[in-house]
Structure formats: C-alpha cells, structure tokens
C-alpha cells in the first residue's frame, strides 16, 4: 500500500503534537509533506527531521534564519511567512491537519481544500469565522472536512448512518473549565495562571483560558450550527465535569446517542486520521464502574456570559461569527497582557459586536476570504479601541 501523504499545520502546538504522536507510531504508513509552526523553531526542526518532512515552515519571517540553521544538512526545505504557509498548503497531500490557533488558521485550510484533499479541522475559528465559505469550497472541490474538536467528532460519529433531518437536538458537553468552582463574585480577579489550568484536558494556553470563560464552548455552539447545519434552538450545552461524554445527539423518536471516551484528543484526531475506518488508538479505555457517576447540570449564564453571546451570534449569522472571533482574540490578548480582567472579556466582545453591527450590519454574509479578512481587521481595531477607552 502506498504511504499516505500528510501535512500538519500548527505542528508545534498541542493538537499538532498529538497528531505527530499518532503518525510517528506508524512511520512506514505516512509520508510527511509539510510541518508548520510559528515561534517554536527547535521543536519544528526536530520533528521535521524525525519525520523526514519535505518542508518546515514558520509563520514568523524573522525566524527563517534560525529555522534554516536548525535544518542545515538535513535536506529539508525551510520557508517562512504567510505566503509560505499557503504554498505549503498547495503541496499535494492526502490528509491535512488544520491546527494553527486562531483566525490565522483559516487561509491555509481554505487553500488546502482547493486541492480536494481531506482536511482534519481542529482550528475552530475557521468554521466560526467563515463556515459557509469553507464548506462551500469543500463541496465545490470534492474535498472532505472532518471535525477534530472532540465534541464535533463525537456528534459526527453519532450521526454515521443517520439522517440529519431526524435530528431533534445536539447537546455539547462542557467541563466548566478551571474556574468552575470559584464563587462568581471572585471571577473578576482571576489571573491568566488561574484560568490557564484545566481540570481534565491538556491543551494549548489560549483554548484553556477560553474553556474557563466558556468562550470555547460558545465557539463550539457556533461551530455546531455551521458544520452540521442545525438550527440554533436545537443546539444545547450542559456542564459535565468528568468530560467523559463529549456530545449527545437526540433524534425525533426520542432516542439519544452519546459518545463517551477518555478526555484525550488523540481519539478525535485518530478518528479523523483513520476515517472511515476505526483502528487501534493508544487512548485509555473507560471503566464505568470505576467512574461510578457522570454528572450533568445546566450552565449558569451569569458565570458564563459567552454562552448568551453565542446565541446572539448564531441567531444573527452572516458576519457575526467573524466579529465574535476577532474580538474574542483581542480580548484574550488584552487579558493575557493584564490590561483587562477575566470578566471584562465578554463585555469587550459584546460591545464589539454592537459597534460592528452599527458600522457594517452583521447579518450580510461574507462572500470571499477578502471580505472576511477585512471584517476581521475592522473588528480587531474596534475591540482595541474599546479596550483603550476602558482604561
Ligand atoms: P497551541 O497554542 O498549542 O498551538 C498553536 C499552533 O499554531 C502552534 O503550532 C503555533 O506555533 C501555531 N501558531 C501560532 N500562531 C500562529 C500564526 N499566527 N500563524 C501560524 N501558526 C501559528 O494550540 P492548540 O493546539 O491547543 O489548538 C490549535 C487549534 O485547535 C485551535 O484553533 C484550538 O481552538 C483547536 N482545538 C484545540 C484543542 C486542544 O485540545 N488543544 C481541542 C479542540 C480544538 P508555535 O507554537 O511554534 O508558536
Ligand atoms: Mg472541544
């Protein structure tokens, strides 16, 4: 059997490293085309050498000399910058992991779809920012998009062989994040260190803080609407502290299919890698008797204003998701920089949506990547202005 050609965008991150872990276990099965990263040149170069990649790309042009240096004598090509990321997405591959963090992941993923490849989509910002453009490109090019976010992989698996028209509801579970047991009145004081510790999942710093604020869950609700094409009022979320049930799908006969598994991203990544087959994966098996109980409860909207904002974004549609993502990224940067408090992030996002609504009217859909990038840019400026005004 010929080796499958794979590329990993965001190879140095948490998802990227989990993907590499799976691929490295079957070195004969894969031919690694491109690995990309940004700041972590040592890791990028060592993985490129270990996996004998064709090319390693850093998003940061300033780091090209360091990357060249680290790859010297290996015969592996080195490149840098946004255009180089797009060129890497043009290289023929059978399976591409989209795991760059943030809106920066959109353009390379979209480019990869042009070639009719299979795109394993971890980068949730792509769907929230430009779901219709991405999925339309996939349809037009005969490409396959497979969800890697664990909840969406779970829904996707529960839907195999089912008719989407028979779906009554989709329930996305949420751990509640690192601050779920803090009193609500103390949340305003939470620091990035407090919010950056997750009870169940080991993930990148940004998504871990987004879990504590539930901006991550807000993104996932919007992702669900975009990917599965289900009406917003059929999409629910429930707090499930154990993170064993990843999502549930309710059908029109009252049946509910739940997906259970250990909280390990290699499950969802491996499902996308082996799809449509199922193969052995090195993840823990769950023991229900040992788990003893699985708890579920409704999320408190005072604690998690992001959930209310997600509802508004889903109802508005159009460019609301793009503004939401951009403003959320800016608010998170400001929180990480100590410029705003933990609970201020939702206020900035909501005010950015209001301001952008007055400027451009959010419900009109963006038709091209350029439209999306323009709205993204304007939204970031708007959010920064709001942050400045707060000081
Ligand atoms: P990390 O922060 O761990 O990794 C991000 C990756 O993107 C790194 O390779 C990083 O490079 C690279 N990167 C950072 N900035 C840029 C940029 N401007 N241009 C190009 N590349 C860049 O993130 P995660 O792996 O946690 O998450 C990746 C995506 O997957 C996110 O969209 C996240 O929401 C989603 N996701 C993650 C889950 C998880 O368990 N971690 C679960 C579900 C979804 P470097 O490190 O070298 O600077
Ligand atoms: Mg998730």
What class, spelled out in words, does domain 4-147 have in CATH? alpha beta
| Ligand 1 contact, 223 CB (< 6 A) | no
Quick one: which atom of ligand 1 is closest to the CA of 100? 7
Q: How far apart are the first and last CA of the chain?
A: 61
Distance CA 148, CA 119 (A): 10
CA 265 / ligand 1 centre spacing (Å): 13
pTM attached to this predicted model: 0.96
Ligand 1 pocket: which of 35, 87, 100 to mutate (most atoms within 8 A of CB): 100
Describe the strand order of the beta sheet including 256-260 as a list of residue ranges.
Answer: 235-239, 167-174, 245-251, 256-260
Ligand 1 atom with the smallest distance to the CA of 41 is 47
Mean pLDDT by 10-residue block, N- to C-terminus, for the chain (391 residues)? 93 97 95 98 98 98 98 98 98 98 95 98 96 97 98 98 97 95 96 91 90 97 98 97 97 98 97 98 97 95 95 97 97 97 98 97 90 96 96 75
From the CA of 10, how far away is ligand 1's center (Å)?
Answer: 6
> What is the pLDDT at residue 204?
86
- pLDDT of res. 277: 97
State the virtual CA torsion across 55, 61, 63, 66 in degrees, nearest 10: 50
Task: Delimit the domains of the chain by residue range.
Answer: 4-147, 149-263+284-305, 317-391
pLDDT score recorded for residue 1: 65
Task: Count other Cβ atoms within 10 Å, centred on residue 68.
Answer: 17
Same fold, 4-147 and 317-391: no
Nearest atom (ligand 1) to Cα of 203: 41
In whole angstroms, give the CA distance from residue 256 to residue 238.
14
Q: How far apart are CA 317 and CA 304, in angstroms?
A: 21
Q: Whose CA is nearest to atom 8 of ligand 1?
A: 13
Residue nearest to atom 32 of ligand 1 (CA): 123
Ligand nearest to the CA of residue 246, numbered in listed order? 2
- 196 CB within 6 A, ligand 1: no
- The ligand 1 atom at the shortest distance from the C-alpha of residue 216 is 34
Q: Whose CA is nearest to atom 4 of ligand 1?
A: 13
338-370: burial string, b at 16+ Cβ within 10 Å, e else: eebbbbbbbebbbbbbebbbeebebeeebeebe
Number of H helices, E strands in the chain: 16, 11
User: Which residue puts its alpha carbon closest to atom 9 of ligand 1?
Assistant: 10
CA–centroid distance, 183 to ligand 1, in Å, is 30
Quickly tell me which residue has 């250990």 as its tokens. Answer: 262
Which atom of ligand 1 lies closest to the CA of 124?
Answer: 32
Phi, psi dihedrals of residue 248, rounded to the nearest 5°: -135, 145
CATH topology of domain 317-391: Rna Polymerase Sigma Factor; Chain: A (1.10.1740)
Distance of alpha carbon 105 from alpha carbon 377, whole angstroms: 15
The whole-number pLDDT of residue 336 equals 97
User: Is 240's C-beta closer than 6 angstroms to any atom of ligand 1?
Assistant: no
| Binding site membership of 104 for ligand 1 (Cβ less than 6 Å) | yes
CA atoms within 13 A on the CB side of 341: 11
């Amino acid at each position: 059997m010929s080796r499958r050609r794979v590329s990993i965008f965001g190879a140095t991150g948490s998802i990227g490293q989990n993907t590499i872990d799976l691929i490295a276990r079957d070195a004969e099965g894969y031919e690694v085309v491109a690995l990309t990263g940004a700041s972590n040149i040592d890791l990028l170069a060592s993985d490129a050498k270990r996996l004998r990649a064709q090319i390693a790309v850093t998003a940061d042009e300033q780091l090209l000399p360091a990357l060249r240096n680290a790859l010297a004598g290996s015969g592996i090509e080195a490149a840098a910058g946004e255009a180089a990321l797009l060129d890497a997405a043009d290289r023929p591959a059978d399976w591409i992991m989209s795991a760059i963090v943030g809106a920066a992941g959109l353009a390379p993923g979209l480019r990869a779809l042009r070639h009719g490849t299979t795109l394993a989509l971890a980068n949730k910002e792509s769907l929230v920012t430009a779901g219709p453009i991405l999925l339309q490109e996939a349809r037009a090019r005969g490409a396959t998009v497979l969800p890697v976010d664990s909840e969406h992989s779970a829904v996707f698996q529960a839907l195999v062989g089912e008719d989407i028209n028979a779906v009554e509801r989709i329930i996305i579970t949420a751990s509640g994040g690192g601050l779920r047991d803090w009193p609500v009145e103390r949340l305003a004081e939470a620091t990035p260190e407090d919010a950056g510790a997750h009870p169940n999942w080991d993930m990148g710093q940004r998504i871990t803080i987004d879990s504590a604020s539930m901006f991550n869950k807000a993104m996932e609700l919007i992702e669900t609407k975009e990917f599965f094409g289900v009406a917003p009022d059929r999409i629910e979320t429930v707090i499930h502290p154990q993170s064993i049930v990843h999502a549930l799908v309710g059908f029109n006969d009252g049946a509910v299919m739940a997906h259970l598994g250990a909280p390990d991203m290699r499950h969802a990544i491996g499902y996308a890698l082996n799809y449509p087959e199922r193969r052995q994966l090195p993840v823990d098996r769950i023991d229900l008797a040992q788990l003893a109980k699985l708890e579920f409860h409704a999320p408190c909207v005072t604690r998690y204003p992001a959930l209310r904002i997600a509802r508004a974004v889903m109802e508005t549609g159009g460019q609301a998701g793009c503004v939401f993502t951009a403003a959320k990224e800016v608010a998170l940067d400001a929180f990480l920089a100590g410029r705003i408090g933990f609970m201020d992030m939702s206020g900035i996002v909501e005010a950015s949506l209001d301001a952008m609504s007055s400027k451009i009217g959010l419900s009109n859909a963006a038709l091209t990547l350029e439209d999306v990038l323009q709205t993204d840019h304007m939204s970031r400026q708007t959010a920064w202005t709001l942050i400045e005004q707060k000081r």
